[in-house]
Amino acid sequence: MESFKLARKQFPTALSQSTKLFELYENFVTKNSGSVSQIESALRSLTYIIPGRFRESELASESVLSGVQLLSLYHDSLVARVVSQIPANVPRPTPTPHARYTKYWSSRSPLYRRIALTLQMIRYTELLWEMFARRRGEKVRWRIIVIMESVKALCRLILLRRTNSRPLVTPPLPEREVDPRTADDDGDSGDWNGMETPSENHSEHSWTMPRTGLPLPSLPDVGDISSYLLSKVLTADDIKPPKSLLHRVTGQGQLAEVLYILRPLIYVLALQKWRGNKKNWNPWLIGFALEFGCRQLAKKDFRKRVAGGLRGLSGLEKDELRKRAWAMGWWAMRGAFYENITKSWIHSVTRRMKDKPLLGLIGSVVEDYEYLWDNYYYSTATV
């Protein structure tokens, strides 16, 4: 009883200390976002060389990678919250079309943000879940994969509905913003009252007019006039409202987007049906035909509906089509194509790399990753 009373008395103190530590951590992340990003990148790079180094190294590697990815999502939210509180008169870098579009929907629709966040968390941890499920047997593993693909497909269909039938972008959340104050290393330009002669440090930043509070841009270097003027040129995408950066899809275009969303689930169900024979071409042909057909159907719809056809697409739409085109290259590492063609080709290349100074190291890393490609579906999944 006495110990219980003592613990109850100490609980507020412990809670207060943990809250202070949490606040200190948040302050460190927001004030050192550049260094934090470098640490995250270093940890991600480390996970690329861990597989194959010791027993169950792939599980340790994927645990670290998933943890870093989830932590980076939290860091993104911290930096975004701080940047949103910066006064409007502080000069900011021009946001990318992807950042404008995803930030618009994330701020306008809490449902969009929650669903997109759920989707990102599944994407970052799906391979780890598959590794844990594989320990319980192949039936459990495939059941978990089907469940995750079903949830992902449902999330994407909700996002498609919430954005009024606009194609999905990758990733669905805005990427980490750059704090505009990080360029101000000397820090006291905001205290200048406009009546003094600015120092050399102040000339590198914009001047805020004392009466209106509006900033005047700094003058560029003499030798950098051309690039400065080009950076101020507005494109069509710069003046479009964020939601207009993607055209709504209807008819064939909407069918193509829905099939693209359902394609991973259909492919997984086909793999589950023919899982006894990895060299069976049926699942691969079904999945590849669906993805290729969706792409051609979407491009055909754009040519019909968008003024100027594919040339009339926005930069964001072209970028998304480009990402999906590159993602199709991963079909060479999946299913029957990998088992019948790519696998033997990789073996022949890695054998030639052996006993060569630098190429041998690359070949050993590739051989370590073969275990993932051979045994895990999510090691080559792209959506």
Q: Which residues of the chain have pLDDT under 50?
A: 183-204
Position 1 in a domain: no
Position 72 in a domain: yes
pLDDT of residue 329: 93
pLDDT of residue 204: 47
- 342 shares a domain with 272: yes
The 10 Å Cβ neighbour count of residue 301 is 20
Residue 211: which region, alpha, beta or left (left: phi > 0; alpha: psi -120 to 50)? Answer: alpha
Position 235 in a domain: no
Number of domains in the chain: 2
CA atoms of 278 and 283, how far apart (whole Å): 9
pLDDT in tens, 61-98: 888 889 999 988 888 888 888 777 777 666 677 788 99
- 166 shares a domain with 28: no
Position 13 in a domain: no
- 147 shares a domain with 56: no
- 51 shares a domain with 114: no
- 72 shares a domain with 104: no
- 277 shares a domain with 132: yes
Three-state SS for 239? helix
Residue 353 in tokens: 């790399």
∠ Cα 240 244 248 (to 5°): 160
- 358 shares a domain with 250: yes
CB 292 within 8 A of CB 213: no
- 355 shares a domain with 291: yes
Q: Which residues of 215-228 are buried (b: 16+ CB within 10 A; e: fewer)?
A: beeeeeeeeeeeee
Distances 273 to 85, 136, 283 between C-alpha atoms, Å: 52, 19, 9
Position 17 in a domain: no
Position 144 in a domain: yes
Segments forming the whole domain that contains residue 65: 24-85
Eight-class DSSP state of 221: P
Amino acid at 33: S
CA atoms of 125 and 149, how far apart (whole Å): 13
- 73 shares a domain with 105: no
Eight-class DSSP state of 251: T
Domain boundary, last residue among 34, 56, 85: 85
∠ Cα 296 305 162 (to 5°): 85
CA atoms of 6 and 10, how far apart (whole Å): 6
- 158 shares a domain with 34: no
pLDDT in tens, 295-317: 999 999 888 888 888 888 888 99
Domain boundary, last residue among 62, 85, 108: 85
- 322 shares a domain with 265: yes
Amino acid at 72: S
Name the residue with tokens 């104050």. Answer: 181
Distances 230 to 215, 218, 224 between C-alpha atoms, Å: 20, 15, 10
Domain boundary, last residue among 65, 85, 105: 85
- 301 shares a domain with 256: yes
Position 109 in a domain: yes
Position 7 in a domain: no
The 10 Å Cβ neighbour count of residue 165 is 16
